[in-house]
Structure 1
Amino acid sequence: MGFDPTTLRRDDYGFFGPGSPSWKVWTSPTAVIGFQRAVVLEHFDPFLTAAVADSQGIYSDPRKRLDNTFAYFLLVAIADGRTAIQASEHLMQVHAPMTGIEPITGKRYSANSPETQLWIHITGWHSVLKAYEVFGPGLTPEEETRFWEECAIAAELQTCKPEDVPRSREEMRAYYERVRSRLCSSERAEAGMHHLLRTSPRNGAGLSYALGSRVLSLASSAITPMWMRKLGRYNVPRVVDPLVKIPARLIVWAFTLFGSFGLIKAAPFIAPMAGQILKQHLKNEPPTTLETITPARARELYSLRGNTIPAVAEAS
């Protein structure tokens, strides 16, 4: 991604700032659980599955591929406007050549299409919120209202259509109902999901990462709807869920006691770049301007591509 972890917050407080629900949720140890849930659920979109399967990134170098993705979500949530905007532009550039034919529908896919980007965005933000609610302290009703407002702001960095972005829990549920008819599984989707839940130590993942994925999968599966688990054929019996939730809450509580210090120490074995971002965040060094900024203003000031999101080819 070309991110320099020493410049996380040079200009401003980014889009949300201290005390925001986004800062709380995305920097909690529970975000790791939510992130695994999100990247697994992404495979229910056949167009995204085609992009992932054709690129082979999660198989050839799973640690780097997932670390880059997690780092992007963190940068949008907690970095300054300059870093977040330039990270989003870099990501779109990486996605731009990822086009092809989706074999189930026979339609063309594009990794940068608004529908695909919205699915990635919503599964990411909703999953970390769900993990924060189940395994962490959760948000107050007022904080949750603000969280969904911030989720919509973050979506401005992707190609999502603003009118399609949910702005409340009710709208999020309506979104899932709306897209459910086009969600499906396949051999390639199952291969991707099972690989992310039980990563092989081969292909550069390493033993620590492989073990970590298996431990996390118990918690991330416990907060996944049963119909999704059955569709993806990673159905963990419902009776296991409460047995997982109690020790998971205790582990999260232990990490929180040390201000995520333990999480940062563990990060090099799981997600090195994300760990560096969290480390810089916890230093709490103030930016030049003690204010937040909008994505539109940040793009105007710092974009390397002009003040517009480039047009992309939609799946058709």
Structure 2
Amino acid sequence: MSIGVLEPLRRRLSLTFAGQSEGIPAWELALEDGDDAGYFAADSVTWRVHGGMTPIVGGIRALLTQALHPGVLAGVLDHSYYQEDPLARLARTIRWVFTVTFGDTEAARAACEHVRRRHGPVVGRYADGRGAEREYSANDPELLEWVHIAFTDAFLGAYEYVRGPLPAGRADQYVREWAVAGELMGVASPPRSVAALRERLDAYDDGARLAHSPRVDEAVGFLRNLPLDPMLVPGYRTLFAAAVDSMSDRHVSLLGLDKSSLGRGLLPPRPAASLTLAVVGLALGSPGPSEQAARRRLARLGAPPPPPSTAP
């Protein structure tokens, strides 16, 4: 498939993910700056899991999982303009993920501090899974931890769903590495193994902290039918189905979804997602601008070169 044929797709994807159809955002180019290699080495599992295209599926899955906590969901629905600017939160999340992953330590710390400042005014009340009224703040330890473990589980799960299981011990290594991001965001003791991550996820399912509600239906409906450019809609539907298919049956049930009702196309969700991500990777190029900027910084610092990219 020629690059020229994919140019319209590239422009629309760039506008969706970066907010501009031409050029590279200044914040991505700035990842070339800095005086150290960052929190994650070029041969880290974090670079491997966050590189390529699987983070698109991981991002959808993370948003769905995070929405299961009514406190987290209240913060999003009550304090964001997601209906007026539905892709703004996505763009901010992408910027944070790639800055922490590929930036130097100063850039990573600054990105986390910026998010924590934005969280400051996000306060309110919500009804938990048992109907009890509770106060919340986006910087509450419980909410911060849920967002972190949901993210970790989603990005690792999406990678292994699309690409296959990581070699022995590498999934644990990813959870241990990404715990640094949790600490930077204020999570007191993030899990450092897959077993600890699963235990922490299960502990939240206590009847109060995770719950299905009409607000969950609202969030799921919105995520399922994002107001995207028509050219992107078929691919997004494929990736949404894959994100749901990759989740635990318990979380899918809490979302009010049914895996059997998803992915009724020509291919099952997993191979359909692999094909879609391959096309997206061809359109956007690999490695992406953030990783390329980090590679230039590492070369300038004389750090060991990263291994070749294996995207998507």
CA distance in 2, matches of 1:138, 1:7: 33
Secondary structure in structure 1 of the residue aligned to 2:283:
helix
Specify which structure has the bigger relative contact order, considering alpha-carbon pairs within 8 angstroms and separated by 6 or more residues. Answer: 1
Residue identity (%): 24
Partner of 2:284: 263
Could you tell me how far 1:45 is from its partner in structure 2?
0.4
One-letter code of the match for 1:263?
L
- Answer yes or no: is 1:96 the counterpart of 2:96: no
Q: Is the 8 A contact 1:42 1:119 kept in 2?
A: yes
Aligned match for 1:248, one of 259, 273, 285? 273
Segment drifting more, 281-290 vs 234-243: 234-243
Greater displacement, 246-255 / 139-148: 246-255
**For residue 147 of structure 1, what is the aligned residue in structure 2?**
174
C-alpha distance in structure 2 between counterparts of 1:67 and 1:27, whole Å: 16
Are the structure 2 counterparts of residues 209 and 119 from structure 1 closer, same or farther at C-alpha, using a change threshold of 3 Å? farther
Please report how far the alpha carbon of residue 96 of structure 1 lies from its aligned counterpart in structure 2 after TM superposition. 0.6
Larger CA deviation: 211-220 vs 35-44: 211-220
Q: Distance in 1 between matches of 2:243 and 2:66?
A: 14
Give the Cα–Cα distance (whole angstroms) in 2 for the partners of residues 248 and 76 of structure 1. 26
Determine the C-alpha separation between the residues in 2 that align with 1:168 and 1:3.
35
Q: CA deviation at 1:137?
A: 4.5
In the TM superposition, residue 254 of structure 1 has moved relative to its aligned partner by: 5.8
Aligned to 2:157: 130
2:25 is equivalent to residue 26 of structure 1: no
Q: How many residues align?
A: 271
Report SS of the residue matched to 1:19: coil
* Structure 1 equivalent of residue 250 of structure 2: 227
Code of the residue aligned with 2:248 in structure 1: it is P
Note the alpha carbon deviations across 1:147-197, whole angstroms, 9 max, x for none. Answer: 1210211211112112xx111111111111111112101111220122112
| Cα distance between partner residues in 1 of 2:153 and 2:289 | 24
> Over residues 76-122 of structure 1, what are the superposed CA-to-partner deviations in whole Å (9 max), with x where a residue is unaligned?
12211121111111111111100011134311111111111111111
Gaps of 5+ in 2: 1-17, 19-24, 305-312
Q: After the TM superposition, which parts of structure 1 deviate over 6 Å for at least 4 consecutive aligned residues? A: none
- Equivalent position amino acid for 1:221 in 2: V
- The equivalent of 1:285 in structure 2 is 296
Query: How far does the alpha carbon of each residue in 1:54-82 deviate from its partner, in whole angstroms, 9 at most, with x for none?
Result: 01332221111111112212221221112
Structure 1 unaligned regions, length at least 5: 266-276, 293-316
Give the whole-Å Cα distance in 1 for the aligned partners of 2:66 and 2:26. 24
Query: Residue 148 of structure 1 contacts residue 166 of structure 1 at CA under 8 Å; is this kept in 2?
Result: yes
C-alpha contact 1:30 1:135 (8 A) present in aligned 2? yes
Cα distance between partner residues in 2 of 1:171 and 1:14 = 25
CA spacing shift, 1:75–1:138, aligned 2, 3 Å: farther
CA distance in 1, matches of 2:78, 2:85: 14
Alignment of 1:166 with 2:196, yes or no, is no
Q: TM-score of the superposition, structure 2-length normalised?
A: 0.78
Deviation at 1:250, TM superposition (A): 3.6
| Aligned residues of 1:198 and 1:217 also touching (Cα < 8 A) | no
TM-score (norm 1): 0.77
Q: Measure how far apart 1:213 and its partner are.
A: 3.5
Shift of 1:23: 0.4
Match of 2:201 among 158, 168, 176: 176
Residue by residue over 1:244-300, the C-alpha shift from the partner in whole angstroms, topping out at 9 and shown as x without a partner, is 112323444566xxxx452359xxxxxxxxxxx9314225213454569xxxxxxxx
Aligned mates of 2:210, 2:114 — CA distance in 1? 28
The aligned amino acid for 1:282 is Q
SS, match of residue 100 in structure 1: strand
In structure 2, C-alpha distance between the alignment counterparts of 1:197 and 1:45, rounded to whole Å: 18
CA distance, structure 2, for counterparts of residue 189 and residue 50 of structure 1: 10
Q: Matched residues in 2 for 1:235 and 1:60: separation?
A: 29
Q: Tell me, yes or no, if the aligned pair for 2:31 and 2:297 is still in contact at 8 Å.
A: no
